[in-house]
Amino acid sequence: MAPPRHMTSEDPFPEKTPGKLRLYSMQYCPYAMRARLMLAKKGVDHEVINIHLRNKPQWFLDKYPIATVPVMEQDDKLLGGSLVISEYIDEVYSKNGERTLSADPYEKGRTNMLISDKYGKAISAVYKRLRHEENWEEDFFKHVGELDKELGAKKYFAGADKPTYADYMLWPWMRVLGPDCEIDDVLPTGKLPNLVRWIEDMKKDDTVKACHTPPDVLKRFCQGYHTLKYEYDLE
């Protein structure tokens, strides 16, 4: 089924269903995908309202002046920010023993350090490559290479035998690496062997499959980072 179209300044506010969780998203936004992954992982009943980020509805700006996605709303509750929402979903909707982010304060802190430091630098390097910035290779292989070292021989980043919070919070950017996607020239270099293995394993995960975007569609959207001509409603 095709995702809901992206609402623009011409669209009226869509009435809410009492009690139902709503996610304001953008279909191809990696930050929004973090929240969509967690909602899929936990099987949360929800609705998605896609927002055209180049022509936002005024009612969205009034609701969340920061004007970024994702934003989660449920009755009178409203949260913004991909990590805030993802952690909230994991904590509220997980059954006993099914948290993807460790409840142990130290392990949770280590995961959040990984995300804020190494993930942040690697994500910036991915955007440099998408924008075809000069000398992108140095930053890319330095910072994404750090992730490859961090992963090492582990199957997944937290050392578990299945994806956890640390993996899902990185996946939306790593999915653009590969022969069918926009960044098709980095994995064949042999410089990221552990990430190559991890990417293939992540593609097999049911949660990742549930949030899959066809590679040709994702590639068309990603080209906008270089051309500055973003296409919406590609599906």
Residue 154: CB partners within 8 Å, gap ≥ 6?
A: none
Evaluate whether 12 touches 19 at the Cβ level (below 8 Å): no
* Structure-block tokens of residue 174: 């790593």
Evaluate whether 79 touches 34 at the Cβ level (below 8 Å): no
Cα–Cα distances in angstroms (integers) from residue 209 to residues 40, 87, 121, 234, in the given order: 10, 21, 26, 18
Evaluate whether 190 touches 156 at the Cβ level (below 8 Å): no
Element (H, E) at 64: none
Strand order through the sheet with 71-74? 46-50, 21-25, 71-74, 77-80
Look at residue 114 and give its three-state secondary structure. Answer: helix
Evaluate whether 70 touches 23 at the Cβ level (below 8 Å): yes
User: Has 29 been annotated as catalytic?
Assistant: yes
Q: 29, 181, 211, 222: which is the annotated catalytic residue? A: 29
The catalytic site residues sit at 29
